Structure 1
Amino acid sequence: MTSLTTHVKRFVGPIIANRWTGIIAARVLGNRIPHRGLTIDTSSPVVDAETKAALLVNGYESAEYRFVQRYLPTDCDVLELGGSLGVISCTIRRRIAADRRQFVVEADPRLAEVLRRNLALNDCARGVEIVEAAISYGAGGTVRFALGERSDSGRIAADADGLPTIEVPAVTLGQLIERHGLTDFALVCDIEGVEWRIVEHDLDALAKARVVVMETHGTPDHGSHDDLIAAILATGRFALLDQYGPVVVLEPKRPA
């Protein structure tokens, strides 16, 4: 019965997770959407109606949620790249031990505000440090960041396409690991294509994680998400533990 229910939800969810569902839910619920035991504040203009609907029917980042619950260790620190609304951040905080540290990187200041609000709303702020910066491997300590209209459309300004841009601090994965003294940690990553640059420029840092939960994305300059997964596995440094569409769970291979 549980399996049947799951299949029904996966079929019906995308049908009802539409703009009008989100608009009605936000109005009825006062922009406080219940989601997998959390309450998510969606009052920011950057949260569109489709996202609100996806939250309502538990379709929001569902593969990431399942993999975090299944594979994320409870006894290590966590570095999350791309905090967005804070849904996965709260899920992580509730899963890991109270004495473990959690660092959440978010480049968009509007989303950082939403992230803080939802961590506090769900009593998940303790032990969490928000790093307002963009993952970048260019020269200099800052980078231009394009502010998207939706929570998932912000990006490095080289791909701005006429969107408004701001200057934000730039940081690499390796720098984050060093600055925060991360020696035993898991990595959760959803940064809209910038993961390609980590693989190109910072593979050693990526391989330091105990486990990696990553949503992969295609880019015009690099290829599809399948190309990225193939490129990661071709390095011979990671084992693929699980995959659902573009979301993968990777385990770095340790020297024998």
Structure 2
Amino acid sequence: MGGAKPRLVPVKRAVAGALTSAPVAALVDRVTGGVIRSRGLRIDTRSPAVASSTRAALLFRMYESAEIRMVRTHLRSASHLVDLGASLGVVSSAAARLLPPGAEVTCVEANAQIAALTSANLARNAPHVRAGVINGAIDYTRSPGQAVSFVEADEHVGSAIDADGTRAGFTAPAVRLTDLVQGVKAFSLVMDIEGAEVGLLLAEAQTLQRCQQLVAELHATEHDGRRWEVPDILQLATSLGFTVTASYGNVFVLTRTPAPIGGPHA
């Protein structure tokens, strides 16, 4: 488990910077027309909300590479998959291809322009599943439906919550996991929600008893006046009945630990 060896990290960063530089990214735009073939997927990125550097990263297999690796290697088949922070739908599409025909895939993406691409890419790459894309933001500091403000990052598909709502960006209605899986007996969960995972884990203990597997990129964050480092978040997940079964960098696969008969997670 774990990521690249420390001595290789600067080299990888240098290579990544070169492959996503403005001249290379512009060439990628011209050659691909914005529809990128990568890892057996065909991803539509044709939107002003997607930066050229993101297209280059996708073409050269650097975009969400850890998440895709973990999903393809470790994700179990499921009848219902939820992807929070779905972005372009690359990870959703890779995961959906592992699911049986008729399985349900529910994606949440805060940027409405990106959410439209999420839906199109799922339909293109995994037509055998029933996919639904919700424009929303996972947030437990606001009531469901209340607007959450975001400021766009330079690469557009990665955005951060704007705490005071004063900077240019976009808004999305707050949504919660429990509302997404009403009536679902068991589900798998993929999430990359930029620090909101602590709020979800703390608020959704009961709902997560039905989560059989969780693939998450974890971020050190501040929540309710406390600093949470990645080991703290993993300890919290363990207390909810999950075991870390694989990791790559800060992307972790957590699998529900079978509870003893009559135990708290039975």
Greater helix proportion? 1
Which ranges of structure 1 fall in alignment gaps of 5 or more residues?
Answer: 1-6
Tell me what 1:144 maps to.
148
After TM superposition, give the deviation of residue 83 of structure 1 in Å: 1.3
Superimposed CA distance per residue, residues 199-220 of structure 1 (whole angstroms, 9 cap, x where no aligned partner): 2222232332111000111224
Tell me what 2:5 maps to.
none
After TM superposition, give the deviation of residue 37 of structure 1 in Å: 1.0
Distance in 2, Cα, partners of 1:125 & 1:100: 8
Identity of aligned residues (%): 31
Q: 1:215 aligns with which of 200, 214, 217?
A: 217
Which ranges of structure 2 fall in alignment gaps of 5 or more residues?
Answer: 1-7, 261-266
1:238 has 2:242 as partner: yes
Distance in 2, Cα, partners of 1:13 & 1:184: 41
Report the TM-score when normalising by structure 1.
0.84
Tell me what 2:202 maps to.
200
Judged with a 3 Å threshold, the aligned counterparts in structure 2 of structure 1 residues 27 and 161 are, in CA distance, closer, same or farther, namely: farther
Superimposed CA distance per residue, residues 169-198 of structure 1 (whole angstroms, 9 cap, x where no aligned partner): 3221122121xx221211111111111111
Superimposed CA distance per residue, residues 217-243 of structure 1 (whole angstroms, 9 cap, x where no aligned partner): 12245333344224433x262211011
Distance in 2, Cα, partners of 1:230 & 1:50: 35
3-state SS, counterpart of residue 133 of structure 2: strand
Distance in 2, Cα, partners of 1:52 & 1:93: 21
Which amino acid in the other structure matches residue 58 of structure 1? R
Number of equivalenced pairs: 244
After TM superposition, give the deviation of residue 60 of structure 1 in Å: 1.3
- Structure 2 contact 150–169 (Cα < 8 Å) conserved: yes
Tell me what 1:229 maps to.
234
Superimposed CA distance per residue, residues 95-114 of structure 1 (whole angstroms, 9 cap, x where no aligned partner): 11012111111121011112
Over aligned residues, Cα RMSD in angstroms? 2.5
Superimposed CA distance per residue, residues 63-116 of structure 1 (whole angstroms, 9 cap, x where no aligned partner): 111111122222431111111011111112211101211111112101111212
Distance in 2, Cα, partners of 1:172 & 1:123: 25
Q: 1:21 aligns with which of 24, 27, 35?
A: 24
Q: 1:135 aligns with which of 135, 138, 152?
A: 138
Greater strand proportion? 2
Superimposed CA distance per residue, residues 115-143 of structure 1 (whole angstroms, 9 cap, x where no aligned partner): 12322343537510112221122235322
Tell me what 2:69 maps to.
66
- Structure 1 contact 46–151 (Cα < 8 Å) conserved: yes
Give the 5 Å matches for 1:70-149. Answer: 70-122=73-125, 124=127, 126-137=129-140, 138-149=142-153
Which amino acid in the other structure matches residue 74 of structure 1? S
3-state SS, counterpart of residue 163 of structure 2: helix
Distance in 1, Cα, partners of 2:156 & 2:206: 30
Give the 5 Å matches for 1:174-193. Answer: 174-178=178-182, 181-193=183-195
Distance in 2, Cα, partners of 1:76 & 1:195: 23
After TM superposition, give the deviation of residue 157 of structure 1 in Å: 3.5
Q: Highest relative contact order (Cα 8 Å, sep 6+), 1 or 2?
A: 2
Distance in 1, Cα, partners of 2:91 & 2:105: 12
